Amino acid sequence: MTGTYDASWDRPHRPTSNELWQESDWLTFYDPDAKIGGVYRIGRQPNRNKGQPNLFCFAQGGQRFLMKDLGGKGLDCDIAARDTWETGYQVAGHRVDSLGNGEMRYRWDYPETEADLKFHDHFYTPRGWDRSDKGAEIIAWLNPEGHLECAGRVTGWIRIGDRRHDVDCYGHRDRSWGYRENYMPKMKRTLGAWGSNGPSFSFATMVLHLKTGERLVTGFVSRDGREDDIAEVRFLPTVDSDMLSPVAGIMLLTLESGEVVRIDCDIAQSHGGYAPGSAFNSVGTFVRDGKRGFCDFSVYANPSRAEHIPLAEDVSLSTIQAGLSPTADHTLLPRQS
């Protein structure tokens, strides 16, 4: 994908004839004041007449909901031509619509949870991963037709169980379209991280180890309109006694200029254990320049080399239980002197 963002990037694209052509939308958000957050994904594979909805949402101190996709097989829903229109598409109870000017509307409707969220007021123009030539061939291989990332505001409402909550916070979204073979990366060694505390600071990064032997580090930092590409990433997760549930994390982002940006994340809620490689996705907060923001990271911590997908008895704080369950306190207590 080259060129400057235009509204067509956010609308459904015409598929090629490849069976694995896909299009997907993703949103992550967290409101630290209301303590409401979630991770939403909707994907369609029109040549297979299939779509995939994924969802994790929570209200701290209340309930959380997880819709599980068991390695791409658990939630493979039937779709038809009527499920796609000029500005959006739907899969099961998921729906996404482009509103123009980089704004998007995300909805879901299930007995356990429903929501109507709007992404708007983006903090930088929606863009691809890396504006240099670094990793261009790999990125083109992973997303041959297009991919965009963007941080901004998320407002609306969400119901979890029988309680409805207003949402007004920061969030991050992405879109991709084109041929995708999901297991080209070695999923046991993958990191994705995103976050923002407003226009003054946002970041997005991805580290992939591919089955072909290459290692890809990509992403960028945006600060008050200035965007710098990321050259290297180190991520140091702190996990609970189960050695899987994240409770905190430190990211060191080395920019192309040599500057090192440190981000300390505290985790609100996490989920995982539902895909080969065992990704644990966490949503929480960080503070930079006195401003609190939200962050999301997915870390694939699986020393079993994807031979074992964790069971409920394997985890302490993260949920891998489908449906509603009580939230768990991920607070990392201060060290005792």
What distance in Å separates the CA atoms of residue 170 and residue 285, rounded to the nearest whole number?
11
Tell me, what amino acid is at 4?
T
pLDDT tier for residue 219 given thresholds of 50, 70 and 90: very high
- Counting residues of the chain whose pLDDT is more than 70, the rounded percentage is 84
Indicate whether 337 pLDDT > 50: no
Tokens of 305: 């080399």
Sign for the pseudo-dihedral over CA of 266, 126, 31, 201: positive
3-state secondary structure 9-40: HHCCCCCCCCCCEEEEEEEEEEECCCCEEEEE
Comparing CA positions, the residue from 195, 142, 111 lying closest to residue 24 is: 142
What distance in Å separates the CA atoms of residue 67 and residue 72, rounded to the nearest whole number?
12
Enumerate the domain spans of the chain.
10-326
What distance in Å separates the CA atoms of residue 132 and residue 17, rounded to the nearest whole number?
30
pLDDT tier for residue 253 given thresholds of 50, 70 and 90: very high
pLDDT tier for residue 72 given thresholds of 50, 70 and 90: very low
pLDDT tens-place string over residues 73-101: 557 899 999 999 999 999 999 999 999 99
Q: What is the pLDDT of residue 301?
A: 58
Q: What is the pLDDT of residue 70?
A: 43
Round the average pLDDT of the chain to a whole number and report it. 87
Indicate whether 105 pLDDT > 90: yes
296 by Cβ neighbours in 10 Å (0-12 / 13-18 / 19+) ranks as buried
Q: What is the DSSP letter of 141?
A: H
